[in-house]
Amino acid sequence: AQSVTQLDSQVPVFEEAPVELRCNYSSSVSVYLFWYVQYPNQGLQLLLKYLSGSTLVESINGFEAEFNKSQTSFHLRKPSVHISDTAEYFCAVRNAGNMLTFGGGTRLMVKP
Amino acid sequence: GAVVSQHPSWVICKSGTSVKIECRSLDFQATTMFWYRQFPKQSLMLMATSNEGSKATYEQGVEKDKFLINHASLTLSTLTVTSAHPEDSSFYICSASGTSVSYEQYFGPGTRLTVT
C-alpha cells in the first residue's frame, strides 16, 4: 500500500521569502510523484511531476521539487514566493493502476 | 489541451432529493474517470473509479446505492447523489484519464453541494 505524508498542514511565509513544502511517501514499488495546487473553490491543477529521469523537476512558475529515493521524499521548493502563490498544495503518488494517493495537503499562506 | 469540466459548479438541494453532477472531458477521450470528495480543509478522498462502459469500482465505505456513477461515453461521467442528506454536503471533484494523455489524471473544477 502507498501513503503520502505532508508534515506541515500550514506554512506561513512572507512575500519574496523562500519556502519548502515537505512530502514523504511510502511505496514498495517504483513511484510516480506529483504536486498539485488548489486555489479556493477550484479543482486541482498539476504543478509538476516526477516520472523518471532527472530527479529535479521544475514548473513554469518557479517551483521545483527533488525526488530523493533514499529519503523517500519529494519536497517542493520556491526561492521567492508571491502573494499569488497562496493556495493549498497536495503531494500525490500514483500506483500502477493509475490511482492517486494524496497527502493531507499544506496550506501556503504568503503574507505581504 | 486536456480540459475537464464539471456541471454544476455549485448546487443547493433539499434533504431527500437527488442531485446529478456531470463530468466531461472536453478534448480527449477519458477511458477512466475518478470521483473524489473533499471536506473543508481536508485532502481528497477517492470515492470511486469508473471505466467507460463498465460498472464503477467503489472505495471501501462508499455506498454505491447512494452515489450512483454512470460512465456511458468516453467524454461523460455522472455522479448522482440519491436521497441527499446534510452530511452529504461537500466538494465533489472528478478527474479523467486516458491513453491520449498518458494516463495522467486531469481534474475538473469541482462541484460544491449543499444539502439543506
Q: What's the pLDDT tens digit per position in A18-48?
A: 999 999 998 777 789 999 999 988 889 999 9
Residue keyed to cell 513554469: A60
DSSP labels for A3-20?
EEE-S-SEEEEETT--EE
Q: Is B88 helix (H, G, I), strand (E, B) or coil?
A: helix
Q: Is B56 helix (H, G, I), strand (E, B) or coil?
A: coil
On whether the CB atoms of residues B88 and B102 are closer than 8 A, the answer is no
C-alpha distances in Å from residue A111, one per residue of A13, A15, B55, B90: 6, 6, 47, 29
User: In angstroms, rounded to a whole number, what is the distance separating the alpha carbons of residues A73 and A70?
Assistant: 8
Structure-model confidence comparison of residues B90 and A53, the more confident one: B90
CB contact under 8 A, A99 and B34: yes
CB contact under 8 A, B43 and A104: yes
| B41 neighbourhood in chain A, CB within 8 Å | 105, 107
Residue in A46, A99, A107 closest to B46 by CB: A99
On whether the CB atoms of residues B62 and B2 are closer than 8 A, the answer is no
DSSP conformation class of A18: -
pLDDT in tens, chain B (116 residues): 789 999 999 999 999 999 999 999 999 999 999 999 998 888 899 999 998 888 899 999 999 999 999 998 999 999 999 999 999 999 999 999 988 887 789 999 999 999 99
Longest dimension (CA), chain A: 43
Task: Identify from B47, B104, B106 which residue to disrupt to test chain A contact, counting A C-beta atoms within 10 A and taking the largest count.
Answer: B104
A-B C-beta contacts closer than 8 Å: 43
What is the reported pLDDT for A31? 81
| B110 neighbourhood in chain A, CB within 8 Å | 41-43
Give backbone dihedrals phi and psi of A7, rounded to 5 degrees, phi first: -70, -25
Structure-model confidence comparison of residues A98 and B84, the more confident one: B84
Q: What's the pLDDT tens digit per position in A55-88?
A: 899 888 899 999 998 999 999 999 999 999 999 9
Q: B104 touching A, CB under 8 A? A: yes
A8: its cell numbers: 506541515
User: In angstroms, rounded to a whole number, what is the distance separating the alpha carbons of residues A99 and A74?
Assistant: 18
